[in-house]
Amino acid sequence: MRIDAIRAQHVLIDDDFVPATLRLRQGRIEAIEPPESEVAGLLLEVPDTAYVVPGVVDTHVHVNEPGRTHWEGFLSATEAAALGGVTTLIDMPLNSVPPTTTLAGLRAKQEAATRKLMVDVGFWGGAVPGNLQHLEPLWDAGVFGFKCFLAPSGVDEFPPLDGAGFTAALTEIARFGGLMIVHAEDAGVLDAHAPTSGSRAYADFLLSRPDEAELAAIRQVIDGTRETGARTHILHLSSARALDLIKDAKDEGLPLSVETCPHYLCFASEQIPDASPQFKCCPPIRDAGNREELWQALRAGVIDTIVSDHSPADAEEKGRGDGDLQQAWGGVSGLQVGFSAVATEARRRNIGLSRVSRWMSRNTADLAGLRSKGRIEVGVDADLAVYDTGAELRVDATRLAHRHPISAFDGLRYGGRVTHTIVRANAIDVERPDHVWGRQLRRVS
Ligand SMILES: [Zn+2]
Q: How many angstroms does the Cα of residue 266 sit away from the middle of ligand 1?
A: 18
Please report, in tens digits, the pLDDT of each residue of the chain (445 residues total): 899 999 999 999 999 999 999 999 999 999 999 999 999 999 999 999 999 999 999 999 999 999 999 889 999 999 999 999 999 999 999 999 999 999 999 999 999 999 899 999 999 999 999 999 999 999 999 999 999 999 999 999 999 999 999 999 999 999 999 999 999 999 999 999 999 899 999 999 999 999 999 999 999 999 999 999 999 999 999 999 999 999 999 999 999 999 999 999 999 999 999 999 999 999 999 999 999 999 999 999 999 999 999 998 888 888 888 888 898 888 898 999 999 999 999 999 999 999 999 999 999 999 999 999 999 999 999 999 999 999 999 999 888 888 888 899 999 999 999 999 999 999 986 666 666 779 999 998 6
Contact by Cβ (8 Å): 367, 61: no
CA gyration radius, the chain: 21
Q: How many angstroms does the Cα of residue 61 sit away from the middle of ligand 1?
A: 7
Contact by Cβ (8 Å): 421, 85: yes
**CATH, range 55-377+392-414:** 3.20.20.140
**pTM value > 0.85:** yes
Q: How far apart, in whole angstroms, are the C-alpha atoms of residue 84 and residue 307?
A: 13
Q: How many angstroms does the Cα of residue 311 sit away from the middle of ligand 1?
A: 6
Q: How many angstroms does the Cα of residue 236 sit away from the middle of ligand 1?
A: 7
Q: How many angstroms does the Cα of residue 59 sit away from the middle of ligand 1?
A: 10
Element (H, E) at 351: none
Q: How many angstroms does the Cα of residue 3 sit away from the middle of ligand 1?
A: 34
Q: How many angstroms does the Cα of residue 145 sit away from the middle of ligand 1?
A: 14
Region at 273 (left for phi over 0; alpha for psi -120 to 50; beta for the rest): beta
The answer, yes or no, to whether the previous bond of 137 is cis (omega within 30 of 0) is no
Q: How many angstroms does the Cα of residue 62 sit away from the middle of ligand 1?
A: 6
Strand stretches in 28-183, DSSP E: 28-33, 43-45, 50-54, 56-61, 86-91, 120-123, 125-126, 146-149, 179-183
Bridge partners of 234? 182, 258
Q: How many angstroms does the Cα of residue 185 sit away from the middle of ligand 1?
A: 12
Q: How many angstroms does the Cα of residue 102 sit away from the middle of ligand 1?
A: 19
